[in-house]
Amino acid sequence: MKALKDFFALLFGGHCILCDDLSLEYVCPNCVSTFENAFEFFYPPFRKSFAIGIYKDKFKDLVIKAKSNTIAMEVISKLVLKFLKDKKFEGFYISCIPDDRFGRSHLDRIVNNISREKKLPIYRFQKIKETKKQHLLYFGERRLNVENCFKAEFSPEKILLIDDVITSGATLRSAYKELTRSGSKIVYSLTFAVSPVFWENYKNSVHK
């Protein structure tokens, strides 16, 4: 089977990066069919929020892989751009959650792609405090972990803020607080995925 896959890859382009089945695309139709549809929702304090999927099953695998795999990040980039195709962001800048004091981020590739396709200038801010990995902390610890960890200067009035996964929302809210302190008036959030726990809690709060 390995030899057959290698032969297929040589002739036609390879196999699925998620399930390893033979595929003409980086992610095969079977895996794509398990992805949720992208959606828009209202998540205060953000004026609008967008998510490309739910952080589970094959889509979770794709998001995790995208942290270190440029092909996976390109696949997500295409999904994001497809979703944003008909959406207008007049006067907006695009930004993302930074990883360090220089404003660099593992999300830079997708930010650059969106900036180019949607004609949005890029705004960068800083992460000025070392933090623990959010997924290793209890929900109650996450807010304290990222509190006052960002620094922004002269942030633009309108920003589309990108992050990969929203679980408790602490990181995004901390960034929002600093951006609005620095001058932003309208901030939209866009995440690759929302965790199932976050989404269930969100829906329950909306239906109360």
Note the pLDDT tens digit of each residue in 146-187: 899 999 999 999 999 999 999 999 999 999 999 999 999 999
- pLDDT band for 188, please (50, 70, 90 cuts): very high
- 13 and 84 both lie in a single domain: no
- 133 and 158 both lie in a single domain: yes
- 76 has which bridge partners? none
- 27 and 96 both lie in a single domain: no
Q: Which residue is it, tokens 């003409």?
A: 24
This model's pTM is above 0.95: no
- 79 and 166 both lie in a single domain: yes
- pLDDT band for 145, please (50, 70, 90 cuts): confident
d(CA 145, CA 137): 9
More confident residue, 67 or 55: 55
Q: Is the peptide bond before 45 cis (omega within 30 degrees of 0)?
A: yes
pLDDT above 60 for 8 = no
Number of domains present in the structure of the chain: 2
Owning domain of residue 23: 1-33
- Dihedral through CA 173, CA 176, CA 178, CA 179, nearest 10? 170
pLDDT above 90 for 111 = yes
Distances (CA, A) of 159 to 128, 135, 175: 20, 26, 11
